[in-house]
Structure 1
Amino acid sequence: MSKLPAPPADGFCAQAWAHTADLQQAIVEHPFNAALTDGTLDREVFAFYIVQDARYLVGFAQALAAAATRADNAEDAAFLSGAAQGALVEERRLHAGYVAEFGLSDEEIAGIGTSPSCLAYTSYLRATALTEPYPVLLAAILPCFWVYQHVGTTILEATGGADEHPYRAWIQTYADDEFAAAVLTARELVDRVAASADDETRQRMLAAFTRATEYEWLFWNSAWTKEAWPTAQYLR
């Protein structure tokens, strides 16, 4: 894995990461990721996570597409629209993968409810795309890129890239150079937009980045607990 240059240490991204540093560590140390690291993660828990992740990616792609329409130059629009397409391609790949790997039929997949945390996270991104200015939307989108890279590279370093690891394919997806380059581009874009924003907008960006990072933790936790709707018992 090659070393990519880091964005400025005094930019918005550095501030946002420092602000959420304890939460970032809690995500890495979450029981789901701890079990993913040592290879003991239950296959049913991972399958539940994959189903939720595929559904999340649709909402994430919609937020990226909305951001692309508001970019003020062609290069940024191309990156954001390409990331939106990539998220949908990944959703299709995940769908095909869990059908094949876990033996789940389309009917069984449809029978797995979207978790409260997955719905909340995607709803938050969609609402941000509709109601917040472009810089705030970018800040809300960034944690999905950055947190996954951080988790993936941390796990890769902890496992030494073991070829026999049962979740090696997932780890390598988020720890490879191509994904790292996309994360770097996203961070540079957010830093650039934040640099020209006023103080109030930067505060709203920080709040959005923080909230999305909180949703990242909730998403991992919902997979670990196979989160269901507690109200389901009252519905027929």
Structure 2
Amino acid sequence: MLFQRLIKENAAIWDSYLHHCFVKRLEDGSLEKEKFLFYLKQDYMYLINYAKCYARLALNADNAKELRFAMKFQQYIIEGEIELHKSILQLGIDVDNLCAKDESITNIAYTRYMLSVGESGDFLDMLVALSACAIGYAYIGKEVFKNSQHSLENHPYREWILTYAGEEFQKETQEFEEFLNTYNVSDEKFNKLSHIFHNVVRLEAEFWQHALEMRV
């Protein structure tokens, strides 16, 4: 299966993303609130651009099936994750007044890289670029929930954990992974996809790190 091949080929960087210090501290509740809010603020802006990436994915579609997939997941990002982040951030950040000056360099690098993949490549290239976030968060959410479920009642990041470990998100992610796995590729194409995947996973890990350092 294509996605498992990508993980296997990039095992070390994939593991550093899933088990980053930021994730482990979020899991045990020791992550400082200001760092979590910094992450949420950046992630809110990231998700707006991530939703735009699905518009690029739609432009790259070769058939109705691919077009429906792109449009469905764009809608899910807009109506689901962005609204969740907005509700949390309203506790301390006015999301409606966020602007380009608030966006971190890491954030810019990640989302613009994905867009560049879509502009220079095809539908599958863009799908793989989007996969680290789309599928990775489900892997992380599931594991964090498993490791912290006995202490969730008073967990400071309970809502975040339950969102990404929740049935709806897990179901959507499984659909994404299964869709990606329907593609069979040549060795040459796989090497290109693996390079893209390696880059986006690196950027995911860097997103955790820059939040840990609160580095704009």
TM-score greater than 0.5 by the shorter chain: yes
Secondary structure of the 1:179 match is helix
Deviation of 1:35 (Å): 1.1
Secondary structure of the 1:227 match is coil
Deviation of 1:207 (Å): 1.0
Relative to structure 1, the CA distance from residue 79 to residue 45 in structure 2 (aligned partners, 3 Å threshold; closer, same or farther) is: same
Question: Residue 64 of structure 2 corresponds to which residue in structure 1?
Answer: 74
- Alignment pair present for 1:95 and 2:83: no
Matched residues in 2 for 1:29 and 1:66: separation?
Answer: 30
Q: How many residues matched?
A: 214
Give CA deviations for 1:14-47 in whole Å, capped at 9, x if unaligned.
1111122222322233221111011111111111
112-121 or 133-142: bigger deviation: 112-121
Residue pairs, 1:180-219, within 5 angstroms: 180-193=170-183, 195=184, 197-219=185-207
Letter in structure 2 aligned against 1:207: H
Q: Which has the higher helix share?
A: 2
Matched residues in 2 for 1:52 and 1:153: separation?
Answer: 22
Matched residues in 1 for 2:8 and 2:73: separation?
Answer: 26
| Contact 2:2-2:181 at 8 Å conserved across structures | yes
Residue pairs, 1:69-148, within 5 angstroms: 69-89=59-79, 90-99=81-90, 101-102=91-92, 104-106=93-95, 109-110=98-99, 113-148=102-137
Deviation of 1:112 (Å): 6.8
Matched residues in 2 for 1:169 and 1:50: separation?
Answer: 12
Matched residues in 1 for 2:132 and 2:173: separation?
Answer: 9
Secondary structure of the 2:4 match is helix
| Contact 2:60-2:118 at 8 Å conserved across structures | no
Give CA deviations for 1:25-72 in whole Å, capped at 9, x if unaligned.
222332211110111111111111011101111221111122123334
| Contact 2:10-2:194 at 8 Å conserved across structures | no
Letter in structure 1 aligned against 2:138: Q
Question: Residue 178 of structure 1 corresponds to which residue in structure 2?
Answer: 168
1:44 to 29, 34, 40: 34
| Contact 1:59-1:125 at 8 Å conserved across structures | no
Relative to structure 1, the CA distance from residue 66 to residue 108 in structure 2 (aligned partners, 3 Å threshold; closer, same or farther) is: closer
Letter in structure 2 aligned against 1:66: R
Moved over 6 A (4+): none
Question: Residue 166 of structure 1 corresponds to which residue in structure 2?
Answer: 156
| Contact 2:40-2:85 at 8 Å conserved across structures | yes
Matched residues in 1 for 2:154 and 2:11: separation?
Answer: 31
| Contact 2:17-2:202 at 8 Å conserved across structures | no
| Contact 1:57-1:87 at 8 Å conserved across structures | yes
- TM-score for the superposition, normalised by structure 1: 0.83
Question: Residue 5 of structure 1 corresponds to which residue in structure 2?
Answer: none
Aligned-residue Cα RMSD (Å) equals 2.0
